[in-house]
Amino acid sequence: MAIILDGAKRAAEIKKEIRQKVHKLLYRPGLAVIQVGEDPASQIYVHNKKRDCEECGIVCKDYQLSESVLEYDIVELVAELNTQKDIDGILVQLPLPHDLDPWPVLQAIASSKDVDGFTIYNAGRLAIGEPTIVPCTPTGILDLLQEYRIPVKGAHCVIVSRSNIVGKPLAHLLLAQGATVTICHSETGDLASHTRRADILISAAGVPGLITADMLTRCTAIVDVGITRGKDGKLRGDVCFEEVQEKVSFITPVPGGVGPMTRAILLRNVLQAAQRRQRGL
């Protein structure tokens, strides 16, 4: 039976560390969250982030915009927030409504306040091995692996995602730790032939039940980033949890695995941005 990688427990520890460090600052860090439209899932995410901020002593300012807002207006808001000294981090809740292009909005964020790590500057520094602000989910995954002493150096890590949010930045982080990395995606032929060679498998495809027990052989640890709400209202990951946990040594639950870690690392990124501001960097 696999050991559960308890993201909720580790996230609570990270938030405790953040609270202690926030109290030592000359001022409270500030996070601006921009939400466009009234997507129910996004509203839940924003609510949870605001709760986490309050718990850690971080000021969270929520900017709720109409779904009919123009891209130009969002960029203008971001530009204004870039100049506000009491704002250390700016987060644009994704996805945006279908007719809005997130790229120019995200790239308008000052790199020093890009607590998601999505700007070209921060993504580029990560790619060359000189990271400043790193995307939250990949950082949370690596932290969780380290917490449970799962060896990354020399391991074959298979990532089922090529996204700029998870797959690509995670590959850079794992490579920096000495792992051999294979990236799979929707166009990959015979996915099982790759997953069966994995020591560590990270799936962020958003396809419920994608990873089954017969797709694994020597896999030591599985990190399930996918999260989908079924018609019955239950949340499911990419991995068939019940059958897979009998075959691996470590596995993340859904929910309670990667999600809490992502939110905790976001707060850590805000704290680090505030620390840099306090030092005048």
Choice among 15, 52, 88, 93 that is catalytic? 93
Tokens describing residue 168: 């690509």
What phi and psi values does residue 189 have, to the nearest 5 degrees? -85, 140
- Give the distance, in angstroms, between the CA of residue 159 and the centroid of all CA atoms in the same chain: 14
Give the other-Cβ count within 10 Å of 16's Cβ: 12
Specify whether the CB–CB gap between 23 and 51 falls below 8 A: no
Tokens describing residue 248: 């691996």
Kind and range of the H or E run holding 126: helix 120-127
Tally the C-alpha atoms within 13 A of residue 130's C-alpha that lie toward its C-beta.
Answer: 4
Choice among 6, 15, 35, 49 that is catalytic? 49
Identify whether 85 is a catalytic site residue.
no
Tokens describing residue 269: 């990124």
142 closest CA partner among 154, 129, 151: 151
Only one residue has tokens 């949370």, namely: 140
Choice among 116, 199, 224, 238 that is catalytic? 116
Rounded to an integer, what distance in angstroms lies between the CA atom of residue 84 and that of residue 201? Answer: 41
Identify whether 231 is a catalytic site residue.
no
Identify whether 49 is a catalytic site residue.
yes
Rounded to an integer, what distance in angstroms lies between the CA atom of residue 144 and that of residue 154? Answer: 18
What dihedral do alpha carbons 213, 140, 35, 254 form, nearest 10°?
30
Q: Which are the catalytic amino acids?
A: 49, 93, 116
